[in-house]
């Protein structure tokens, strides 16, 4: 029972696919309106690539804090100096970027593959950051071949970020590789997405069917197992999660404990699985 209480008392922000939700999916099919503008943006305390980019790195608070932790860890663990390039962008700024790209490459069609048109960029959510390093300051695929780029690929989920655009996913995401672009989802979801190694579109197609309490309080192991079951398995585990009565907070926490127990790998205690929002 103690573990149930712990789930309830561990502070966690609501995770949902709603407009202001940390899981909101944005792409060319699911656009944001011109008016969407998060009202809680803050500037993370991290170094920037160029001086004039100081005003372009705003993020929503949870993402900003996570970014600071990720930059600090890169420094402490490896001595890497990461640099923030671009965070929150308004609809209008995205429009400008897109129009500039059209002028540069000659057609809308060509620009489309490289840059999001207005309303189709998750930068407008305040939950995405472009990251480079002191040793590599260009937004191109070469970043992935650097030590810092590789470290980010392997570690970003520990802080709640995912690699959003990989080369092998371009037919689903609609973008070519962007090894500098990191999207914040919170540690549990980011860990599940990264273990599954799938584009966020694929993850979201199933995750958005889950009740909000599972999205908010579900641990990485459970989320991973549920989505894996829905995508590649018989779907029974996923259906069971949807069917559980969950009127009270206690009931919701109990459901999470019960379902986590079903997917618990050997060598891991239930407590570790439920309370570690990250690795297992």
Interface with Zn ion (CB under 5 A): 130, 181
User: Do 155 and 91 meet the contact criterion of CB atoms below 8 Å apart?
Assistant: no
Phi and psi at residue 211, to the nearest 5°: -65, 155
Closest CB to Zn ion among residues 181, 189: 181
What's the closest the beta carbon of residue 140 comes to Zn ion, in angstroms?
13
Pick the closer one to Zn ion by CB: 114 or 262: 114
Residue 126 CA to residue 88 CA, distance in Å, equals 4
Measured CA to CA in angstroms, residue 89 lies from 95, 101, 267 at distances of 10, 16, 44
User: What is the C-alpha to C-alpha distance for residues 151 and 124, in angstroms, rounded to an integer?
Assistant: 26
Q: What does the DSSP 8-state code read for residue 236?
A: H
CB of residue 182 to Zn ion, shortest distance in Å: 8
Q: Which residue is nearest to Zn ion (CB)?
A: 181
Which of the following is catalytic: 122, 148, 178, 228? 178
For 34, residues 6+ apart whose C-beta sits below 8 A from its C-beta are 91, 118, 119
Q: How far is the CB of 107 from Zn ion (least distance, A)?
A: 22
CB of 23 to Zn ion, least distance (A): 18
CA distance 210 to 223: 10
Whether 68 is a known active-site residue: answer no
Comparing CB distances to Zn ion, the nearer of 130 and 228 is 130
Q: Considering beta carbons, is residue 121 or 260 the nearer one to Zn ion? A: 121
Q: Please report how close the Cβ of residue 176 comes to Zn ion at its closest, in angstroms.
A: 12
Q: Are 81 and 155 in contact (CB under 8 A)?
A: no
Cβ proximity to Zn ion, 149 vs 218, nearer residue:
149
How many angstroms separate the Cα of 126 from the Cα of each of 162, 184, 240? 14, 9, 34
Residue 250 tokens read as 């206690």
* Positions marked catalytic: 178
């Amino acid at each position: 029972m103690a573990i149930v209480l712990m789930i309830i008392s561990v502070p966690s922000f609501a995770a949902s696919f709603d407009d202001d939700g940390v899981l909101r999916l944005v792409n060319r099919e699911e656009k944001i309106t011109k008016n969407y503008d998060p009202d809680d943006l803050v500037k993370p305390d991290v170094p920037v690539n160029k001086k004039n980019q100081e005003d372009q790195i705003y993020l929503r608070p949870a993402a900003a804090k996570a970014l600071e932790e990720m930059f600090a860890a890169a420094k402490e663990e490896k001595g890497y100096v990461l640099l923030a390039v671009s965070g929150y962008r308004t609809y209008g700024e995205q429009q400008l970027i897109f129009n500039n790209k059209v002028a540069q490459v000659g057609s809308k069609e060509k620009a489309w593959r490289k840059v999001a048109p207005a309303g189709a960029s998750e930068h407008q959510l305040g939950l995405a950051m472009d990251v480079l390093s002191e040793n590599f300051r260009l937004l191109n695929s070469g970043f992935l071949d650097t030590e810092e780029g590789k470290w980010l690929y392997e570690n970003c989920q520990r802080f709640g970020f995912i690699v959003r655009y990989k080369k092998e996913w371009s037919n689903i995401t609609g973008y070519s590789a962007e090894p500098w672009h990191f999207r914040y989802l919170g540690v549990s979801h980011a860990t599940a997405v990264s273990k599954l190694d799938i584009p966020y579109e694929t993850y979201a197609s199933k995750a958005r069917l889950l009740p909000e309490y599972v999205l908010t309080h579900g641990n990485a192991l459970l989320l991973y197992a549920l989505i894996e079951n829905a995508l590649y398995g018989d779907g029974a585990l996923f259906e069971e999660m949807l069917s559980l009565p969950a009127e009270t907070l206690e009931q919701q926490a109990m459901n999470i404990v019960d379902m986590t127990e079903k997917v618990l790998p050997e060598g891991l205690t239930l407590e570790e699985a439920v309370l570690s929002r990250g690795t297992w």
